[in-house]
């Protein structure tokens, strides 16, 4: 399925960044899977010599090898963190046919925390990212992200920009509504509006008149 359709991307929403788990977090599955395939292939003819139980051992070894490789390829790499200009979406593949999609808008995000545990995560600069919402009972957590501090800064910057854009948009809506009702205001209200506008345009003149 297309990623935009999967996260229900809106018309005015743009994808800023797509993040997948760091390769080192699941590389061991590739190594173990390859090891099972190589060992099973190396002893293939010797196992076949022992009859049906040798065939079973060979089949089990090949199955485990392919299973580990395909799980790393289709399950682990399917975990995606999508950062847009309006929200953060976490696509978490639990199993082959089990997927959880969670999202948090920038207006809902309260804090973004980074955790690097152990010497390997500090050495190779990867770790977890926890996004806490204002609801307190919902935390969006993503593990195994490369350079999580940079992603933390990106999310915080996008959140600040989004909130600023919302303020500008709300101000524009208020202005448009004011323009619409302006012709229907009585003379007294228009004079009040005129005086307020004059005070805003000439604040020094207004203070002089008051003296």
Residue 16's pLDDT band, with cuts at 50, 70 and 90, is very high
Q: Is the pLDDT of residue 75 over 80?
A: no
d(CA 13, CA 33): 40
Work out whether strand 126-133 and strand 98-105 pair parallel, antiparallel, or are unpaired: unpaired
pLDDT at 149: 92
Task: Please report, to the nearest 10 degrees, the dihedral formed by the alpha carbons of residues 95, 96, 102, 103 taken in order.
Answer: 140
Q: In what order do the strands lie in the sheet with 126-133?
A: 109-115, 126-133, 139-146
pLDDT digits (tens, 9 = 90+) for 22-35: 877 777 888 888 99
What pTM did the predictor assign? Answer: 0.69
Dist CA 54 CA 198 (whole Å): 95
Name the 3-class secondary structure at 149: helix
4: which 2 tokens? Answer: 């935009």
Tens digits of residue pLDDT in 44-58: 888 788 788 888 888
Q: Tell me the C-alpha distance between 142 and 93, whole Å.
A: 12
* Residue 107 pLDDT greater than 70, yes or no: yes
Q: Which two tokens stand for residue 202?
A: 């000439």
User: Mean pLDDT, to the nearest integer, of 117-131?
Assistant: 88
Instruction: Give bridge partners of residue 126 from the DSSP assignment.
Output: 146
DSSP 137: S
**Span 77-89, pLDDT tens digits:** 778 899 999 999 9
As a whole number, mean pLDDT of residues 155-160 equals 92
Q: Looking at residue 25, what DSSP letter applies? A: G
- pLDDT for res 164: 86
């Amino acid at each position: 399925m297309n990623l935009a359709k999967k996260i229900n991307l809106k018309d005015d929403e743009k994808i800023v960044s797509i993040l997948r788990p760091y390769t080192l977090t699941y590389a061991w599955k590739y190594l173990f899977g390859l090891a099972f395939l190589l060992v099973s292939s190396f002893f293939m003819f010797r196992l076949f010599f022992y009859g049906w139980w040798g065939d079973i051992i060979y089949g089990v070894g090949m199955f485990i090898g392919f299973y580990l490789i395909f799980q790393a390829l289709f399950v682990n790499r399917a975990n995606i963190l999508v950062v847009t200009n309006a929200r953060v979406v976490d696509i978490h593949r639990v199993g082959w046919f089990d997927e959880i999609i969670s999202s948090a808008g920038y207006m809902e995000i309260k804090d973004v925390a980074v955790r690097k545990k152990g010497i390997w995560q500090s050495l190779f600069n990867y770790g977890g990212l926890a996004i806490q919402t204002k609801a307190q009972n919902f935390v969006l957590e993503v593990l195994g992200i490369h350079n999580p501090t940079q992603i933390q800064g990106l999310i915080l910057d996008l959140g600040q920009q989004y909130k600023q854009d919302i303020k500008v948009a709300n101000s524009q809506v208020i202005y448009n509504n004011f323009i619409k009702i302006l012709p229907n205001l009585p003379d007294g209200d228009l004079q009040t509006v005129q005086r307020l506008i004059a005070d805003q345009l000439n604040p020094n003149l207004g203070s002089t008149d008051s003296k």
